[in-house]
Chains A and B, each alone.
Chain A
Amino acid sequence: MDDASIIELYWQRAERAIAETDAVYGRFCYRIAHNILFDPQDAEESVNDTWLAAWNAMPPHRPSCLKMFLAKLTRRISVSRLRHSTAAKRGGGEVELALDELAECVSTPGGVEQELEARELEQAISRFVRSLPETERTLFIGRYWLVYPVNELARRLGLKPGTARSALSRTRKSLKEYLCKEELC
């Protein structure tokens, strides 16, 4: 079933919308959730929560790209689930490694206090990512948006793992400089 038909099912409040979404995007969303949560059960629950969130959002929302819409929902829900899970449960997942790497780009363990500042940060990161060459951009998004393990990312892109790591390291350094320049770090 194509995206437009699936969205139409949501708008008609047809419960089949969930089954059709699961058939087309279940595996895709599970992979995103699992990369973040590193736990099959948590990942499955995140995907179920994604279907519920999609059900609640449509209508009134009509996504221009269903795949991207679901991917973002899954990532947000998985990150939120990760935050609510105990700190002790962390440590084995790919996301912990990714967070450690990103810690290089921030100055303090504090937090963004204003929503406005968070929006500004998102826009600044979009500008930064847009400025990256294609390979670096793919690596950055693959690693920190989709949370792929570096080795797998390198394999899929036909790069040596060391090359991918070096490129990511350079990009993180550039990001830190950029955020500091924008007074956001």
Chain B
Amino acid sequence: MLNREELFAAIGEIDDELVLPVLARLEEEREKPRLHMTRKALRVALIAAVMAALLAVTAVASGVLGLKSRLVPAETPAETADPRLPERRDHISLNGLAGSNEYLACSEWLSFCDYYEEQMARECLAAGKEAEAWKDSFHAFAQNQAERDICRIYGAWDETMFKRLNEISQRYDLRLLTDITYAPSQSYLFETTGLSPYIRGVERYDYDLGSFLFEDGSFKDESTISVNGEQYAYTLTCIHTGVLYPFSLELPTGARYREWEHVSPEGITLDMALFDNEGSNNLIIFCNSEDMYVTLSLRWSGGTAEEAYARAELLADCFDFAVLCGE
């Protein structure tokens, strides 16, 4: 008779042809942009962008270019939303403030993805197919490997999406990223980007191999630090301007948050946003120089609101933002 361990082992021996497409798909989905914004939401965002641009003149001096100026709101899902269709969430633009070419191009591209992917999914479902049957995971429509790499990075699943991607990047005068490399170690990340170590005062640092970088030096570092006996998972992105960045940061759903400014030991003003969702804390820190946008997200559970506030500033000071901003 069969036991669960044997069943688990047997599943590991199923035919390769069944596993390979799943491996390919999950790896692609891992870095697929997950921002979904409809045209209506885009209009709201564009109005917000104009307002933010008007405010920006004074905001630079007062350092209030925080979460709101990076926010890309999602449209409220319809009550009759089909569970087979992707869930919509608010996102944060990672390399431009509202009104900038980077923010607008990112918003427009992701808005198009939302509209187009949903339309295609609905057509497939209506025809009795899987919602994602229209997607060409192998990008056979691409003319060469370079185009396939771009499609893979940006989640362009057919020729229409690829053409639109190119059109948006050209209109906003932004480059498309073409080469993503997974960093096997933090030292590799430092060597490749030319950065000095930027974490300090922690008891332990665990690099979790979820980090990657692009050909322009933009990178994401996903790791864990231990401070005062507690572990904190973090996601750090340092993204250059001048490119249409394919990814964004999802905001916690339905969470309350407070914003404030914190000055780092190097004298850099950080915009802090602390989300509290039923005892689960999510801290997001923003700062930027002329050509680099830094976004750091840390997560932990438990503690009172005041403890979370104090802990947020302690954690912020574990990162050298002068190094990250290239100052």
Contacts and interface: CB of A to CB of B under 8 A. Distances in A.
Interface string A150-185: 000101111110010000000000000001000011
Given A103-B4, A179-B2, A79 B9 contact: yes
Contacts of B130: 133-135
Contacts of B19: 68, 71, 141, 145
Interface residues of B, number: 41
A130 B19 CA distance: 10
A23 B140 CA distance: 27
Interface stretch (A4-12, A51-59, A105-113): A105-113
Given A27-B184, A98-B8, A141 B1 contact: no
Contact of B5 (A76, A99, A157): A99
Interface stretch (B24-32, B229-237, B239-247, B303-311): B24-32
B86 A158 contact: yes
Contact of B132 (A31, A102, A110, A134): A134
Interface stretch (B10-18, B166-174, B260-268, B271-279): B10-18
Contacts of B9: 79
B179 interface: no
Contact of A145 (B2, B14, B87): B14
A68 B16 contact: yes
3 closest A-B pairs by CB = A110-B1, A158-B86, A156-B29
12 contacts: A71-B19, A72-B13, A106-B7, A111-B6, A118-B6, A126-B15, A135-B130, A145-B11, A146-B23, A146-B26, A156-B26, A179-B2
Given A40-B206, A134-B132, A145-B14, 9 more contacts: A68-B23, A122-B13, A125-B14, A129-B14, A130-B18, A137-B18, A141-B18, A156-B32, A163-B84
Interface of A: 22-23, 26-28, 30-31, 40, 65, 67-68, 71-72, 75-76, 79, 83, 95, 98-100, 102-103, 105-112, 118, 121-122, 125-126, 129-130, 133-135, 137-138, 141-142, 144-146, 148, 153, 155-160, 163, 179, 184-185
